[in-house]
Chain A
Protein backbone atom coordinates (compact mmCIF):
# COMPACT_ATOMS: atom_id res chain seq x y z
CA UNK A 1 0.00 0.00 0.00
CA UNK A 2 1.31 3.41 -0.93
CA UNK A 3 1.48 6.29 1.51
CA UNK A 4 -0.61 8.48 -0.78
CA UNK A 5 -3.13 7.26 -3.30
CA UNK A 6 -4.94 9.69 -5.57
CA UNK A 7 -7.90 8.11 -7.36
CA UNK A 8 -10.12 9.50 -10.11
CA UNK A 9 -9.78 13.07 -8.89
CA UNK A 10 -12.09 15.53 -10.66
CA UNK A 11 -11.73 19.10 -9.40
CA UNK A 12 -12.93 22.36 -10.89
CA UNK A 13 -13.51 25.95 -9.93
CA UNK A 14 -16.66 26.24 -12.02
CA UNK A 15 -18.68 23.87 -14.15
CA UNK A 16 -15.61 22.88 -16.17
CA UNK A 17 -13.22 20.65 -14.27
CA UNK A 18 -9.52 21.47 -14.19
CA UNK A 19 -8.54 17.94 -13.20
CA UNK A 20 -9.88 15.00 -15.22
CA UNK A 21 -9.61 11.79 -13.23
CA UNK A 22 -6.13 12.32 -11.89
CA UNK A 23 -4.58 9.10 -10.56
CA UNK A 24 -1.19 8.44 -9.03
CA UNK A 25 0.58 6.96 -6.01
CA UNK A 26 3.40 8.25 -3.87
CA UNK A 27 5.39 5.66 -1.93
CA UNK A 28 6.62 6.26 1.58
CA UNK A 29 10.22 7.49 1.74
CA UNK A 30 10.56 9.00 -1.72
CA UNK A 31 10.87 12.40 -3.31
CA UNK A 32 8.23 12.70 -6.00
CA UNK A 33 8.15 15.51 -8.56
CA UNK A 34 4.89 16.48 -10.25
CA UNK A 35 6.08 18.16 -13.41
CA UNK A 36 4.04 20.11 -15.91
CA UNK A 37 3.34 23.41 -17.57
CA UNK A 38 1.47 26.34 -16.18
CA UNK A 39 -2.21 25.43 -16.11
CA UNK A 40 -1.64 21.69 -16.16
CA UNK A 41 -3.43 21.36 -12.83
CA UNK A 42 -0.46 20.76 -10.54
CA UNK A 43 -1.39 23.31 -7.90
CA UNK A 44 -5.01 22.24 -8.04
CA UNK A 45 -3.85 18.68 -7.36
CA UNK A 46 -1.76 19.48 -4.27
CA UNK A 47 -4.32 21.99 -2.97
CA UNK A 48 -6.92 19.23 -3.15
CA UNK A 49 -4.62 16.79 -1.35
CA UNK A 50 -4.10 19.41 1.37
CA UNK A 51 -7.85 19.97 1.68
CA UNK A 52 -8.02 23.54 0.39
CA UNK A 53 -10.20 22.40 -2.52
CA UNK A 54 -13.03 19.87 -2.52
CA UNK A 55 -13.10 17.32 -5.35
CA UNK A 56 -16.28 16.88 -7.39
CA UNK A 57 -15.47 13.19 -7.46
CA UNK A 58 -12.63 10.85 -6.72
CA UNK A 59 -10.67 10.62 -3.53
CA UNK A 60 -7.36 11.06 -1.77
CA UNK A 61 -6.17 8.24 0.51
CA UNK A 62 -3.46 8.33 3.13
CA UNK A 63 -2.33 4.87 4.29
CA UNK A 64 -5.27 3.47 2.38
CA UNK A 65 -7.83 5.53 4.30
CA UNK A 66 -9.87 8.11 2.46
CA UNK A 67 -9.45 11.69 3.69
CA UNK A 68 -13.00 12.48 2.62
CA UNK A 69 -13.93 16.10 3.10
CA UNK A 70 -11.56 16.77 5.97
CA UNK A 71 -10.36 20.34 6.54
CA UNK A 72 -6.76 21.41 5.97
CA UNK A 73 -6.16 21.58 9.72
CA UNK A 74 -7.46 18.03 10.22
CA UNK A 75 -5.11 16.87 7.47
CA UNK A 76 -2.15 18.61 9.09
CA UNK A 77 -2.84 16.59 12.23
CA UNK A 78 -2.90 13.43 10.09
CA UNK A 79 0.49 14.24 8.64
CA UNK A 80 -0.09 16.15 5.39
CA UNK A 81 1.51 19.58 5.22
CA UNK A 82 1.49 21.95 2.25
CA UNK A 83 4.04 24.65 1.53
CA UNK A 84 1.80 26.79 -0.68
CA UNK A 85 2.56 28.51 -3.95
CA UNK A 86 3.87 32.05 -3.43
CA UNK A 87 5.40 31.09 -0.03
CA UNK A 88 2.79 32.92 2.00
CA UNK A 89 4.98 33.46 5.04
CA UNK A 90 3.46 35.62 7.78
CA UNK A 91 5.21 38.85 6.75
CA UNK A 92 4.91 40.85 9.96
CA UNK A 93 5.97 38.02 12.23
CA UNK A 94 9.57 37.04 12.84
CA UNK A 95 11.18 33.96 11.33
CA UNK A 96 11.07 32.27 14.72
CA UNK A 97 7.38 33.10 15.16
CA UNK A 98 6.60 31.76 11.68
CA UNK A 99 8.28 28.47 12.55
CA UNK A 100 6.52 28.32 15.88
CA UNK A 101 3.13 28.72 14.22
CA UNK A 102 4.08 26.00 11.74
CA UNK A 103 4.01 23.68 14.73
CA UNK A 104 0.59 24.93 15.90
CA UNK A 105 -0.95 21.48 15.42
CA UNK A 106 1.81 20.03 17.64
CA UNK A 107 1.61 22.64 20.37
CA UNK A 108 0.85 20.04 23.04
CA UNK A 109 4.25 18.42 22.66
CA UNK A 110 6.71 21.31 23.14
CA UNK A 111 9.76 19.06 23.31
CA UNK A 112 9.09 17.51 19.95
CA UNK A 113 8.53 21.01 18.55
CA UNK A 114 11.91 22.17 19.83
CA UNK A 115 13.62 19.14 18.32
CA UNK A 116 11.85 19.70 15.03
CA UNK A 117 12.87 23.35 15.03
CA UNK A 118 16.52 22.34 15.53
CA UNK A 119 16.17 19.94 12.61
CA UNK A 120 14.61 22.60 10.36
CA UNK A 121 17.30 25.14 11.25
CA UNK A 122 19.87 22.45 10.48
CA UNK A 123 18.33 22.07 7.00
CA UNK A 124 18.27 25.84 6.47
CA UNK A 125 21.15 27.39 8.47
CA UNK A 126 20.44 30.75 6.84
CA UNK A 127 17.27 30.99 8.92
CA UNK A 128 19.33 30.93 12.13
CA UNK A 129 20.93 34.25 11.21
CA UNK A 130 17.52 35.67 10.37
CA UNK A 131 15.65 34.23 13.34
CA UNK A 132 14.50 37.53 14.81
CA UNK A 133 13.93 39.36 11.54
CA UNK A 134 10.43 39.98 10.18
CA UNK A 135 9.66 37.39 7.51
CA UNK A 136 8.51 40.09 5.09
CA UNK A 137 12.02 41.56 5.04
CA UNK A 138 13.68 38.32 3.88
CA UNK A 139 14.88 37.73 0.33
CA UNK A 140 12.78 35.53 -1.94
CA UNK A 141 15.06 32.53 -1.41
CA UNK A 142 15.03 32.95 2.35
CA UNK A 143 11.25 33.25 2.35
CA UNK A 144 11.04 30.03 0.39
CA UNK A 145 13.28 28.29 2.91
CA UNK A 146 11.12 29.65 5.70
CA UNK A 147 7.93 28.49 3.97
CA UNK A 148 9.31 24.95 3.57
CA UNK A 149 10.63 25.03 7.12
CA UNK A 150 7.29 26.20 8.47
CA UNK A 151 5.48 23.40 6.64
CA UNK A 152 7.96 20.92 8.14
CA UNK A 153 7.36 22.13 11.68
CA UNK A 154 4.19 20.04 11.96
CA UNK A 155 6.38 16.91 11.54
CA UNK A 156 4.46 15.75 8.49
CA UNK A 157 4.64 12.29 6.98
CA UNK A 158 3.96 13.84 3.59
CA UNK A 159 5.30 17.27 2.67
CA UNK A 160 3.74 18.97 -0.35
CA UNK A 161 5.79 21.80 -1.89
CA UNK A 162 4.16 23.96 -4.55
CA UNK A 163 6.73 25.50 -6.95
CA UNK A 164 9.62 26.09 -4.61
CA UNK A 165 11.80 27.27 -7.50
CA UNK A 166 9.44 30.00 -8.70
CA UNK A 167 11.27 33.33 -8.82
CA UNK A 168 14.50 31.89 -7.43
CA UNK A 169 17.92 31.90 -9.07
CA UNK A 170 18.99 28.47 -10.39
CA UNK A 171 21.55 28.17 -7.59
CA UNK A 172 18.97 28.92 -4.91
CA UNK A 173 16.42 26.59 -6.48
CA UNK A 174 19.04 23.83 -6.42
CA UNK A 175 19.69 24.54 -2.73
CA UNK A 176 16.01 24.05 -1.94
CA UNK A 177 15.76 20.87 -4.07
CA UNK A 178 18.86 19.41 -2.44
CA UNK A 179 17.28 19.78 0.96
CA UNK A 180 14.33 17.62 -0.15
CA UNK A 181 16.65 14.60 -0.19
CA UNK A 182 17.64 15.31 3.40
CA UNK A 183 14.00 15.78 4.36
CA UNK A 184 13.23 12.40 2.80
CA UNK A 185 16.12 10.77 4.65
CA UNK A 186 14.73 12.32 7.83
CA UNK A 187 11.56 10.28 7.33
CA UNK A 188 9.24 12.68 5.51
CA UNK A 189 7.96 11.79 2.07
CA UNK A 190 8.08 14.74 -0.33
CA UNK A 191 5.75 15.57 -3.22
CA UNK A 192 6.82 18.71 -5.04
CA UNK A 193 5.17 20.52 -7.89
CA UNK A 194 7.53 21.98 -10.48
CA UNK A 195 7.52 23.59 -13.91
CA UNK A 196 11.27 23.48 -13.85
CA UNK A 197 12.72 20.20 -15.13
CA UNK A 198 15.86 21.01 -13.14
CA UNK A 199 14.13 19.34 -10.21
CA UNK A 200 14.10 15.91 -11.93
CA UNK A 201 17.61 14.79 -10.82
CA UNK A 202 16.44 15.12 -7.21
CA UNK A 203 13.38 12.90 -7.72
CA UNK A 204 12.83 9.21 -6.99
CA UNK A 205 9.59 9.38 -8.95
CA UNK A 206 8.45 11.79 -11.62
CA UNK A 207 4.88 12.39 -12.72
CA UNK A 208 4.26 14.31 -15.92
CA UNK A 209 1.08 16.25 -15.91
CA UNK A 210 -0.74 17.89 -18.76
CA UNK A 211 -4.20 19.39 -19.19
CA UNK A 212 -5.49 18.01 -15.96
CA UNK A 213 -4.26 14.43 -16.19
CA UNK A 214 -1.12 12.52 -15.28
CA UNK A 215 0.30 11.42 -18.63
CA UNK A 216 3.33 9.54 -17.57
CA UNK A 217 5.07 8.14 -14.49
CA UNK A 218 8.79 7.47 -14.28
CA UNK A 219 10.56 5.80 -11.37
CA UNK A 220 14.27 5.66 -10.54
CA UNK A 221 16.47 5.15 -13.60
CA UNK A 222 13.56 5.83 -15.96
CA UNK A 223 13.55 9.45 -14.89
CA UNK A 224 16.72 10.16 -16.82
CA UNK A 225 14.99 8.97 -19.96
CA UNK A 226 11.86 11.03 -19.45
CA UNK A 227 10.92 12.62 -22.69
CA UNK A 228 10.62 16.26 -21.74
CA UNK A 229 9.32 17.14 -25.13
CA UNK A 230 6.35 14.97 -24.30
CA UNK A 231 5.89 16.70 -20.94
CA UNK A 232 6.01 20.18 -22.30
CA UNK A 233 4.67 19.93 -25.80
CA UNK A 234 2.37 16.95 -25.56
CA UNK A 235 2.98 13.57 -27.12
Chain B
Protein backbone atom coordinates (compact mmCIF):
# COMPACT_ATOMS: atom_id res chain seq x y z
CA UNK B 1 0.00 0.00 0.00
CA UNK B 2 1.20 3.47 -0.69
CA UNK B 3 0.14 7.02 -1.29
CA UNK B 4 -3.10 8.42 0.01
CA UNK B 5 -4.56 5.01 0.81
CA UNK B 6 -1.76 4.28 3.22
CA UNK B 7 -1.90 7.75 4.69
CA UNK B 8 -5.59 7.33 5.41
CA UNK B 9 -4.93 3.91 6.92
CA UNK B 10 -2.29 5.31 9.24
CA UNK B 11 -4.55 8.22 10.18
CA UNK B 12 -7.39 5.85 11.05
CA UNK B 13 -5.22 3.63 13.25
CA UNK B 14 -3.57 6.59 14.94
CA UNK B 15 -6.91 8.34 15.32
CA UNK B 16 -8.58 5.31 16.91
CA UNK B 17 -5.76 4.97 19.41
CA UNK B 18 -5.77 8.67 20.25
CA UNK B 19 -9.57 8.37 20.41
CA UNK B 20 -9.21 5.90 23.28
CA UNK B 21 -7.96 8.76 25.47
CA UNK B 22 -10.83 10.98 24.33
CA UNK B 23 -13.25 8.14 25.07
CA UNK B 24 -11.97 7.79 28.64
CA UNK B 25 -12.43 11.54 29.18
CA UNK B 26 -15.86 11.45 27.49
CA UNK B 27 -17.00 8.57 29.72
CA UNK B 28 -16.22 10.68 32.79
CA UNK B 29 -18.02 13.69 31.34
CA UNK B 30 -21.14 11.67 30.48
CA UNK B 31 -21.13 9.95 33.87
CA UNK B 32 -21.15 13.23 35.77
CA UNK B 33 -23.59 14.89 33.41
CA UNK B 34 -26.06 12.04 33.66
CA UNK B 35 -25.86 11.95 37.42
CA UNK B 36 -25.94 15.66 38.19
CA UNK B 37 -26.54 17.61 34.99
CA UNK B 38 -23.16 19.31 35.36
CA UNK B 39 -20.85 19.97 32.44
CA UNK B 40 -17.59 19.18 34.19
CA UNK B 41 -14.75 21.40 33.02
CA UNK B 42 -12.37 19.81 35.51
CA UNK B 43 -12.61 16.35 33.94
CA UNK B 44 -9.34 16.61 32.03
CA UNK B 45 -7.52 18.16 34.98
CA UNK B 46 -8.39 15.11 37.08
CA UNK B 47 -6.17 13.43 34.50
CA UNK B 48 -3.31 15.94 34.50
CA UNK B 49 -3.28 16.03 38.29
CA UNK B 50 -3.18 12.23 38.44
CA UNK B 51 -0.41 12.28 35.84
CA UNK B 52 1.67 14.76 37.84
CA UNK B 53 1.23 12.68 40.97
CA UNK B 54 2.27 9.50 39.15
CA UNK B 55 5.20 11.37 37.60
CA UNK B 56 6.39 12.60 40.99
CA UNK B 57 6.11 9.13 42.51
CA UNK B 58 7.90 7.46 39.61
CA UNK B 59 10.71 9.84 38.70
CA UNK B 60 11.21 12.03 41.78
CA UNK B 61 10.57 9.54 44.57
CA UNK B 62 11.67 6.43 42.70
CA UNK B 63 8.53 4.34 43.28
CA UNK B 64 7.77 1.34 41.11
CA UNK B 65 5.57 1.97 38.08
CA UNK B 66 2.56 0.13 39.44
CA UNK B 67 2.66 2.01 42.76
CA UNK B 68 3.09 5.26 40.88
CA UNK B 69 -0.03 4.50 38.83
CA UNK B 70 -1.97 3.57 41.95
CA UNK B 71 -0.84 6.79 43.65
CA UNK B 72 -1.74 8.90 40.61
CA UNK B 73 -5.21 7.36 40.44
CA UNK B 74 -5.70 7.83 44.18
CA UNK B 75 -4.80 11.52 43.87
CA UNK B 76 -7.21 11.90 40.94
CA UNK B 77 -10.03 10.26 42.93
CA UNK B 78 -9.25 12.44 45.94
CA UNK B 79 -9.48 15.49 43.69
CA UNK B 80 -12.84 14.27 42.37
CA UNK B 81 -14.16 13.83 45.89
CA UNK B 82 -12.83 17.24 46.93
CA UNK B 83 -14.53 18.82 43.94
CA UNK B 84 -17.80 17.21 45.02
CA UNK B 85 -17.32 18.33 48.62
CA UNK B 86 -16.11 21.88 48.02
CA UNK B 87 -17.85 22.91 44.80
CA UNK B 88 -20.66 20.65 43.65
CA UNK B 89 -22.34 19.94 46.98
CA UNK B 90 -22.33 23.54 48.28
CA UNK B 91 -23.74 24.65 44.90
CA UNK B 92 -26.38 21.90 44.75
CA UNK B 93 -29.23 24.41 44.67
CA UNK B 94 -27.49 26.84 42.32
CA UNK B 95 -28.10 26.89 38.59
CA UNK B 96 -26.13 24.37 36.59
CA UNK B 97 -24.24 27.17 34.83
CA UNK B 98 -22.90 28.30 38.20
CA UNK B 99 -21.67 24.79 38.91
CA UNK B 100 -20.08 24.68 35.46
CA UNK B 101 -18.13 27.84 36.26
CA UNK B 102 -17.22 26.23 39.58
CA UNK B 103 -15.72 23.21 37.83
CA UNK B 104 -13.81 25.51 35.47
CA UNK B 105 -12.45 27.12 38.64
CA UNK B 106 -11.34 23.71 39.89
CA UNK B 107 -9.50 23.11 36.61
CA UNK B 108 -7.73 26.47 36.79
CA UNK B 109 -6.84 25.96 40.45
CA UNK B 110 -5.40 22.54 39.60
CA UNK B 111 -3.31 24.02 36.79
CA UNK B 112 -2.07 26.69 39.20
CA UNK B 113 -1.07 24.08 41.76
CA UNK B 114 0.74 22.07 39.08
CA UNK B 115 2.78 25.14 38.04
CA UNK B 116 3.54 25.98 41.64
CA UNK B 117 4.63 22.47 42.64
CA UNK B 118 6.63 21.70 39.51
CA UNK B 119 8.00 25.08 38.50
CA UNK B 120 11.58 23.82 38.41
CA UNK B 121 10.83 21.17 35.87
CA UNK B 122 8.49 23.01 33.56
CA UNK B 123 8.55 20.39 30.86
CA UNK B 124 8.32 16.83 32.00
CA UNK B 125 8.70 13.47 30.38
CA UNK B 126 7.68 10.18 31.82
CA UNK B 127 8.77 6.76 30.59
CA UNK B 128 6.15 4.50 29.07
CA UNK B 129 4.93 1.43 30.91
CA UNK B 130 6.47 -0.69 28.17
CA UNK B 131 8.74 1.23 25.86
CA UNK B 132 8.35 -0.46 22.50
CA UNK B 133 6.37 -0.10 19.34
CA UNK B 134 5.63 -1.99 16.15
CA UNK B 135 4.23 -1.35 12.69
CA UNK B 136 0.75 -2.60 11.83
CA UNK B 137 1.16 -5.06 8.92
CA UNK B 138 0.11 -3.77 5.47
CA UNK B 139 -0.95 -0.32 6.72
CA UNK B 140 2.38 0.42 8.30
CA UNK B 141 1.01 2.55 11.11
CA UNK B 142 3.33 2.82 14.10
CA UNK B 143 1.64 1.64 17.30
CA UNK B 144 3.19 1.81 20.74
CA UNK B 145 2.52 -0.83 23.35
CA UNK B 146 1.45 2.07 25.58
CA UNK B 147 -1.36 2.83 23.12
CA UNK B 148 -2.40 -0.82 23.11
CA UNK B 149 -2.52 -0.77 26.91
CA UNK B 150 -4.73 2.33 26.72
CA UNK B 151 -7.04 0.52 24.31
CA UNK B 152 -7.16 -2.45 26.67
CA UNK B 153 -7.95 -0.20 29.65
CA UNK B 154 -10.74 1.49 27.68
CA UNK B 155 -12.27 -1.89 26.80
CA UNK B 156 -12.12 -3.07 30.41
CA UNK B 157 -13.43 0.25 31.75
CA UNK B 158 -16.37 0.17 29.31
CA UNK B 159 -17.26 -3.40 30.27
CA UNK B 160 -17.01 -2.67 33.98
CA UNK B 161 -19.20 0.43 33.57
CA UNK B 162 -21.77 -1.49 31.52
CA UNK B 163 -21.97 -4.21 34.16
CA UNK B 164 -22.01 -1.65 36.97
CA UNK B 165 -24.94 0.26 35.51
CA UNK B 166 -26.97 -2.92 35.34
CA UNK B 167 -26.20 -3.75 38.96
CA UNK B 168 -28.39 -2.46 41.81
CA UNK B 169 -25.66 -0.04 42.87
CA UNK B 170 -25.51 1.32 39.33
CA UNK B 171 -29.27 1.72 39.30
CA UNK B 172 -29.06 3.99 42.33
CA UNK B 173 -27.10 6.52 40.26
CA UNK B 174 -29.89 6.66 37.70
CA UNK B 175 -32.58 6.70 40.37
CA UNK B 176 -30.93 9.54 42.28
CA UNK B 177 -30.74 11.57 39.09
CA UNK B 178 -34.30 10.85 37.90
CA UNK B 179 -36.13 11.32 41.21
CA UNK B 180 -33.87 12.40 44.07
CA UNK B 181 -36.69 12.62 46.63
CA UNK B 182 -38.01 9.17 45.81
CA UNK B 183 -34.45 7.85 45.95
CA UNK B 184 -34.04 9.20 49.50
CA UNK B 185 -37.39 7.66 50.40
CA UNK B 186 -36.27 4.16 49.45
CA UNK B 187 -33.13 4.64 51.49
CA UNK B 188 -30.62 5.65 48.81
CA UNK B 189 -28.24 8.33 50.03
CA UNK B 190 -28.24 10.81 47.16
CA UNK B 191 -25.14 12.41 48.62
CA UNK B 192 -23.24 9.15 48.62
CA UNK B 193 -24.32 8.52 45.04
CA UNK B 194 -22.97 11.94 44.08
CA UNK B 195 -19.62 11.19 45.72
CA UNK B 196 -19.45 7.80 44.02
CA UNK B 197 -20.11 9.39 40.62
CA UNK B 198 -17.41 12.03 41.01
CA UNK B 199 -14.93 9.46 42.27
CA UNK B 200 -15.62 7.23 39.26
CA UNK B 201 -15.36 10.15 36.83
CA UNK B 202 -12.07 11.24 38.40
CA UNK B 203 -10.76 7.69 38.15
CA UNK B 204 -11.54 7.65 34.42
CA UNK B 205 -9.86 11.03 34.04
CA UNK B 206 -6.85 9.79 35.98
CA UNK B 207 -6.52 6.78 33.69
CA UNK B 208 -6.66 9.03 30.62
CA UNK B 209 -3.92 11.27 32.04
CA UNK B 210 -1.56 8.60 33.32
CA UNK B 211 -1.84 6.53 30.14
CA UNK B 212 -1.49 9.38 27.63
CA UNK B 213 1.14 11.43 29.48
CA UNK B 214 4.14 9.26 28.61
CA UNK B 215 3.48 9.67 24.87
CA UNK B 216 4.51 13.33 24.94
CA UNK B 217 6.31 15.84 27.05
CA UNK B 218 3.88 17.46 29.39
CA UNK B 219 3.34 20.66 31.28
CA UNK B 220 0.71 21.99 33.64
CA UNK B 221 -2.74 21.81 32.08
CA UNK B 222 -1.51 19.00 29.83
CA UNK B 223 -4.83 17.28 29.30
CA UNK B 224 -6.97 20.43 29.19
CA UNK B 225 -5.05 22.79 26.95
CA UNK B 226 -1.53 21.34 26.70
CA UNK B 227 0.01 18.94 24.25
CA UNK B 228 -2.32 16.15 25.30
CA UNK B 229 -5.48 18.22 25.07
CA UNK B 230 -8.39 15.89 25.46
CA UNK B 231 -10.96 18.17 27.10
CA UNK B 232 -12.53 19.61 23.95
CA UNK B 233 -12.37 16.35 21.98
CA UNK B 234 -13.80 14.61 25.05
CA UNK B 235 -16.66 17.10 25.19
CA UNK B 236 -17.30 16.63 21.50
CA UNK B 237 -17.41 12.87 21.99
CA UNK B 238 -19.84 13.34 24.87
CA UNK B 239 -22.03 15.63 22.75
CA UNK B 240 -22.04 13.04 19.96
CA UNK B 241 -23.33 10.64 22.62
CA UNK B 242 -26.13 13.05 23.46
CA UNK B 243 -24.43 13.54 26.89
CA UNK B 244 -26.22 10.37 27.96
CA UNK B 245 -24.92 7.20 26.43
CA UNK B 246 -21.85 5.39 27.75
CA UNK B 247 -21.29 3.25 24.63
CA UNK B 248 -21.95 6.46 22.69
CA UNK B 249 -19.15 8.20 24.56
CA UNK B 250 -16.74 5.46 23.51
CA UNK B 251 -17.90 5.51 19.89
CA UNK B 252 -17.81 9.31 19.96
CA UNK B 253 -14.26 9.37 21.33
CA UNK B 254 -13.00 7.01 18.64
CA UNK B 255 -14.81 8.97 15.91
CA UNK B 256 -13.43 12.28 17.09
CA UNK B 257 -9.93 10.78 17.17
CA UNK B 258 -10.19 9.60 13.55
CA UNK B 259 -11.75 12.82 12.25
CA UNK B 260 -9.02 14.83 13.93
CA UNK B 261 -6.25 12.68 12.42
CA UNK B 262 -7.62 13.34 8.94
CA UNK B 263 -6.18 16.82 9.43
CA UNK B 264 -2.69 15.28 9.30
CA UNK B 265 -3.04 13.93 5.76
CA UNK B 266 -0.40 15.38 3.46
CA UNK B 267 -2.77 17.52 1.39
CA UNK B 268 -4.20 18.99 4.62
CA UNK B 269 -0.90 19.56 6.35
CA UNK B 270 -0.40 22.96 4.70
CA UNK B 271 -3.72 24.23 6.05
CA UNK B 272 -3.12 25.93 9.37
CA UNK B 273 -5.30 24.55 12.14
CA UNK B 274 -6.64 21.79 9.90
CA UNK B 275 -7.21 19.37 12.77
CA UNK B 276 -9.24 21.75 14.91
CA UNK B 277 -11.12 22.99 11.85
CA UNK B 278 -12.05 19.45 10.83
CA UNK B 279 -13.21 18.65 14.36
CA UNK B 280 -15.40 21.70 14.78
CA UNK B 281 -16.72 21.40 11.23
CA UNK B 282 -17.63 17.78 11.86
CA UNK B 283 -19.37 18.60 15.15
CA UNK B 284 -21.27 21.46 13.51
CA UNK B 285 -22.54 19.26 10.70
CA UNK B 286 -23.53 16.49 13.10
CA UNK B 287 -25.41 18.87 15.35
CA UNK B 288 -27.23 20.41 12.39
CA UNK B 289 -28.33 17.02 11.11
CA UNK B 290 -28.81 15.21 14.43
CA UNK B 291 -29.02 17.81 17.21
CA UNK B 292 -29.37 15.15 19.90
CA UNK B 293 -26.17 13.40 18.91
CA UNK B 294 -25.55 10.32 16.81
CA UNK B 295 -24.50 7.64 19.27
CA UNK B 296 -27.65 7.75 21.35
CA UNK B 297 -29.64 4.65 22.25
CA UNK B 298 -33.31 4.66 21.38
CA UNK B 299 -34.32 4.47 25.01
CA UNK B 300 -32.28 6.58 27.35
CA UNK B 301 -32.13 3.68 29.77
CA UNK B 302 -29.19 1.85 28.20
CA UNK B 303 -26.01 2.27 30.15
Contacts and interface: CB of A to CB of B under 8 A. Distances in A.
A138 interface: no
Q: What size tier do the contact residues of chain B reach?
A: 10 to 19
Interface stretch (A87-95, A191-199, A214-222): A87-95
A12 interface: no
B187 A76 contact: yes
B286 interface: no
B187 A72 contact: yes
Nearest to B174: A93
B172 interface: yes
Contacts of A52: 181, 184-185
Given A52-B184, A93-B301, A73 B189 contact: yes
Contacts of A144: none
Contact of B185 (A72, A92, A93, A134): A72
B192 to A, nearest CB: 10
Interface stretch (A33-41, A99-107, A119-127, A182-190): A99-107
A73 B193 CA distance: 13
A9 interface: no
Q: Name the prevailing secondary structure of the B interface residues.
A: helix
B175 A101 contact: yes
Contacts of B179: 88-91
Given A90-B179, A134-B299, A104 B174 contact: no
Contacts of A82: 185
A92 B174 contact: yes
B300 interface: yes
Interface string B159-190: 00000000010011011001101111111110
A50 interface: yes
Nearest to B180: A88
B187 A97 contact: no
A73 B299 contact: no
B174 A105 contact: no
A84 B186 contact: no
Interface in A113-135: 134
Interface of A: 50, 52, 71-73, 76-77, 81-82, 84, 88-94, 97, 100-105, 107, 134, 150-151, 153-154
Interface of B: 168, 171-172, 174-175, 178-179, 181-189, 299-301
5 contacts: A72-B187, A76-B186, A90-B174, A134-B299, A153-B186
Which 7 A-B pairs have CB atoms at the shortest separation, nearest pair first? Answer: A105-B187, A88-B182, A73-B187, A76-B187, A72-B184, A90-B178, A88-B179
